[in-house]
Structure 1
Amino acid sequence: MSITSFSFPTSIRFGAGARKQVAAHLLEQGLKRPLIVTDRALGALPVLAEFRSHLGGLDVAVFAGVFGNPTCSQVMDGAAAYKAHGADCIIGFGGGAALDVAKVVGVAATHEGDILEYVWDHPQVRAISNPLPYFVALPTTSGTGSEVGRSSVVSENDTHLKRVVFSPKILARMVFADPELTLGLPPAVTAATGMDALTHNVESYLSPAYHPLCDGIALEGTRIAAAALHTAVTEPGNLQARSDMMMASMMGAIAFQKDLGAVHSAAHALGAVCDLHHGLTNALMIDTVMAWNYEAVPAKFDELAHVCKVAGGGAAFVPWLKTLKASVGITGTLASHGVKPEHIPRMVEIAVKDICHQTNPRPCTAADFERLFQAAM
């Protein structure tokens, strides 16, 4: 597999072995002291050590303080590590959590105040006005597409509410998308992150916002993910399937500048209240929400069914989703994953306040979210 370079809008080097080009790229920019921002688990795995073996000529430090749903305090700790190393650039290495933290470590390291003061809906939001450190991103999962996103989602330390820093200034200067970095992912992680990528594409396409460019990307991303996910999970060494899922993940993140929908609002609430993996929460909610959305945009469901090669048209799309989930090992209800009836009122409160459902194809009230959560129990 060759490595392909393209920009959309982020500069991307895509292909097996792309990770080996990072050192030369940074040295070409006159940069020598990177801070790698990664998560706690990856920091202890051979995949990070192997990546570091390709960073000759650089004085590298590692911040491996990201874990769970990333919090604001993890960002601030990363900024302290950046300053302590005297770093001149940042390498984000990991899944969506690590990359979301990496994207704003540079903001916290070069600006005053807490990172929460830079979230888009802060009453006195601070501007990102200072130059940011050079930032490159290497995804090790195929789900969030955070490597090509212009937002960072981090949770409040105490409430676990997800907050968003949004700015084109935090886009990676270069993405090294190397599917070989995903070969070691366990099947359950491959499945959950893959369902996240599929959800991004599906919800972006169903959003009523006008953006035909994103519609085209979302439909193609859906087609690619639908064809590749089962193989990526059941044949973990299949590099083509891994490559396809990495591309579908990036396409979903590019497409969702058009916005998302009620699946994500529900997933964010589940993550905040029950601390469940984001990809898993999307997978647990997608068929319930899509069944509810169908009557609003049946023609769009026909298109989704067409690209996914689902016989029976749009009405068969939700049953197909359930079959796909089961085929990659995602089974059970919210209750079987630890969600309790008493969690629902708080989840409804959070979901209603979440911005994603504002572009759901069918308006979603608090009563609707309550019914959706109960239906998924």
Structure 2
Amino acid sequence: MTLHRFAFPTAIHFGAGARKGVADHLRQAGCRRPLIVTDRALAALPVLAEFRSHLDGLEVAVFDGVFGNPTASQVMAGAQAFKQHRADSLIGFGGGAALDVAKVVGVMAVHEGHVLEYVWDHPQVRPIVHPLPHFVALPTTAGTGSEVGRSSVVSEDDTHVKRIVFSPQLLARAVFADPELTLGLPPAVTAATGMDALTHNVESYLSPAYHPLCDGIALEGTRIAARSLRTAVAEPGDLAARGDMLMASMMGAIAFQKDLGAVHACAHALGAVCDLHHGLANALMIDTVLAWNFEAVPHKFDELAHVCGLAGGGQAFVPWLRQLKADIGISGGLAQRGVRREQLPRLVELALADICHQTNPRPCTAADFERFFEAAL
């Protein structure tokens, strides 16, 4: 029998008000000078000032140079801010972009070279050899689940191609998952990030890789998202629904250590070529790709339909996804988001080169990706 290795080490503080425990946690860890890594838009909102009010007794600085899809230059600027503050710890505060940048700011704060030299597929990849600064994560969106992940996705500044730094050392020492931090998300962002969380759970479950622990988490994460995503979008102040989506987001990110699939390969290409929001890109591609995947694993679609409370078995799952998207305001296709037909060859090229589709339940060719993008236009 093949040997497998599993790890679930992240400490999570979950619930309304969890953010108020960060200062005590840092003090107990011997940290006094944290650097908050956040995005430009969030830094201007009252939510960050309110969070900082709970950090009395700490010498806090803020790096708010994250915007759009995170880039390598943002990471290097954050590392410089860490050194200038003489920081001893990092607080990632924001959505997936801010949290991904925060993880590798910690790497570059104590290592030489450039962040892209640490991506997993660099021909002379540099190892992470020094202990990283103490890092805690506070998600303000419910989508990527980056707060519990052991990887960071950053784009090359010139090509916009997404690159991945992967190491268990990137894991947060503690996650403070507070649904109150997500109450200010507008409906469109709630919808897009919620579809990101749902896609993570669904694709990780459909992956043929062996990981029963992740399968169980993915199915439950799907069930939780299915029951609460509509409510979170329609009733933004519903704290229970916000908490459900925050939990589903973390569960999806834990589950996808099992790997993902062709939906994400397409979404990564759309992010690189068209700068499309990652969650929205997943939402625009998921039903097209999963309809094609159905024949490979119909029994798994039966399970997905079951946890979503659908009658009719696995064949009901993709139509349900399409209706869900319509209910939360995600309609139309790629063309309505500015994707042009002449961009399809580049999209196909990047999707085919993306590692995610290697664990799709059906092998994908360039012709398959071309059909996916054509159908989603």
Q: Using the alignment, how far apart are the partners of 2:206 and 2:96 within structure 1?
A: 23
1:263-302 map, 5 Å: 263-302=263-302
**Which whole-Å CA distance do the structure 1 matches of 2:323 and 2:334 have between them?**
17
Partner of 1:320: 320
Distance in 2, Cα, partners of 1:354 & 1:63: 31
CA distance in 1, matches of 2:124, 2:103: 21
Aligned equivalent of 1:3: none
> Which residue does the alignment assign to 2:58?
58
1:138-287 alignment runs, 5 A limit: 138-287=138-287
Q: Name 1:94's counterpart in structure 2.
A: 94
Alignment of 1:95-134 (within 5 A): 95-134=95-134
Aligned to 1:26: 26
CA distance in 2, matches of 1:11, 1:84: 29
> Partners of 1:75 and 1:294 in 2: how far apart?
39
Q: Which residue of 1 aligns with 2:366?
A: 366
Paired residues, number = 371
Structure 1 equivalent of residue 72 of structure 2: 72
Deviation sequence 1:293-347 (CA, Å, 0-9, x none): 0111111001000000112111111110000001000111111111010010000
Provide the C-alpha distance between the structure 1 equivalents of 2:349 and 2:8, rounded to a whole number of angstroms.
36
Alignment partner, residue 332 of structure 1: 332
SS at match of 1:153: strand
Q: Secondary structure at the match of 2:152?
A: strand
TM score, norm. by length of structure 1: 0.98
Which residue matches 2:4? Answer: none
**Percentage identity across aligned positions?**
80
Q: Equivalents in 1 of 2:36, 2:303: separation in Å?
A: 41
Q: Secondary structure at the match of 1:127?
A: coil
Q: Which amino acid aligns with 1:123?
A: P
Q: Which amino acid aligns with 1:275?
A: D
User: In the alignment, what sits opposite 2:48?
Assistant: 48
Secondary structure at the aligned position of 1:351 is classed as helix
Q: Look up the equivalent residue of 1:314 and give its one-letter code.
A: G
Q: Which runs of 5+ in 1 are unaligned?
A: 1-6
TM-score where L is the length of structure 2 = 0.98
Shift of 1:101: 0.2
Cα deviation per residue 1:55-109 (whole Å; 9 max; x = unaligned)? Answer: 0000000000000000000000000000000000000000000000001101011
Give, in angstroms, the shift of residue 278 of structure 1. Answer: 0.2
> Which residue of structure 1 lines up, in the alignment, with residue 307 of structure 2?
307
Structure 1 outlier segments of 4+, above 6 Å = none
Measure, in 1, the Cα distance between the counterparts of 2:76 and 2:108: 6
1:8 CA displacement: 3.7
**Cα displacement (A) at 1:359:** 0.2
Aligned partners of 1:76 and 1:345: how far apart in 2? 32
Report the secondary structure of 1:216's partner residue: helix
CA distance in 2, matches of 1:369, 1:173: 38
Report the alpha carbon displacement of residue 9 of structure 1 after superposing the two structures with TM: 1.7
| DSSP 3-state at the match of 2:284 | helix
Distance (whole Å) between structure 2 residues aligned to residue 301 and residue 102 of structure 1: 36
What is the DSSP-based 3-state SS (H/G/I as helix, E as strand, rest coil) of the residue aligned with 2:330? coil
Tell me the residue number matched to 1:4: none
Q: Return the offset for 1:210.
A: 0.8
| AA partner of residue 149 (structure 1) | G
User: Which SS does the other structure have where 1:93 is aligned?
Assistant: strand
The CA deviation string for residues 123-173 of structure 1, in whole angstroms up to 9 with x for no partner, is 000000011100000000000000000000000000000000000001000
Aligned to 1:136: 136
Q: Distance in 2 between matches of 1:218 and 1:170?
A: 22
Following the alignment from structure 1 to structure 2, what is the Cα–Cα distance between the partners of residues 63 and 285? 34
Tell me what 1:345 maps to.
Answer: 345
